[in-house]
Amino acid sequence: MKLLRYGAKGQERPGLLDSNGAVRDLSAYVGDIDGTVLTREGRDRLRSIDVATLPEITDFERYGACVGSVGKFICIGLNYSDHAAESDMEVPPEPVVFMKATSAISGPNDPIIKPRGSTKLDWEVELAVVIGAHLAYADEAEAAAGIAGYCLCNDVSERAFQLERHGQWTKGKGCDSFGPLGPWLVTADEVSDADNLAMWLNVNGKRFQDGNSRTMIYKPTFLISYLSRFMSLQPGDIISTGTPAGVGLGQQPPVYLEVGDVVELGIDGLGTQRQVVVAAA
């Protein structure tokens, strides 16, 4: 299944994408696409629905983030060796973990808001994993069974805030609009090999990132197991797994986003996103 949320910001409705690419409304069955319906039992109930009986939605304002009411938005840094090299940082002996504020979550085509004082606004195409079970001290088999699905994420970053303002990376990672998710969540049963997905990102039509999830250092099931040693994971939590080479910071000289720039990105089977950079109010 491809699960999604559509409608005006703050008024998103649950839906799914049918086999013909049409959006179907799920409001008669669930209140939202969130942790309450992303468990194995919840997904099984959704699969039992006759999709042909669902209303087809042909006119809607926007896709929202594909998961609502996210409890934790966890990110993994330097998880591709080529990205670590371009960032002039060593490959970490254990996963680098940081959190994005859930208020950073936005729809896949919503604007990227350039914060006040921003000078080094950057992009990162990433594969995000959506949790579908309560997991604590999980082994990798339990981790694999606890994946609800996968989605596309742009881990938008402000490098000056992240690297030059002291303290944790959180300052440069959690600004409003810095976590576009979607357009849809593809359930795990429809992703044959999450460790081999092509991923790309363009800025103003120029290809900057052209990678594949197979070059991840720490794979999704390992990451879930690892994280579950330090915090329990719940249905609806998001783990964004890192980015390949090609970010603005790694260009010679560096290239950063400015107001009016257009960012487009995608991962095979998980859809695409398009964002325009706008100035903070």
Q: If we measure between CA atoms, which residue out of 58, 34, 177, 197 comes closest to residue 108?
A: 177
DSSP 253-271: S-----TT-EEEEEETTTE
Quickly list H helices, the chain.
40-47, 81-86, 140-145, 159-164, 220-227
Q: Is residue 22 part of a domain?
A: no
Q: Is residue 8 part of a domain?
A: no
pLDDT per position as a tens digit, 29-52: 999 999 999 999 999 999 999 999
Q: How many CA atoms lie within 13 A of 199 on its CB side?
A: 28
43, exposed or middle or buried, with CB in 10 Å at 0-12, 13-18, 19+?
Answer: buried
Q: Which CATH number does the domain housing residue 69 bear?
A: 3.90.850.10
Average the pLDDT over 205-224 and give the result: 96
Q: Is residue 34 part of a domain?
A: no
Q: Give the range of the structural domain holding residue 104, as residue numbers without chain letter.
A: 63-279
Q: Is residue 12 part of a domain?
A: no
Give the total number of structural domains in the chain: 1
Instruction: Using a cut of 0.75, tell me whether the model's pTM lies above it.
Output: yes
Q: Is residue 56 part of a domain?
A: no
Q: Is residue 95 part of a domain?
A: yes
Q: Is residue 92 part of a domain?
A: yes
Q: Is residue 215 part of a domain?
A: yes
pLDDT per position as a tens digit, 53-62: 999 999 998 9
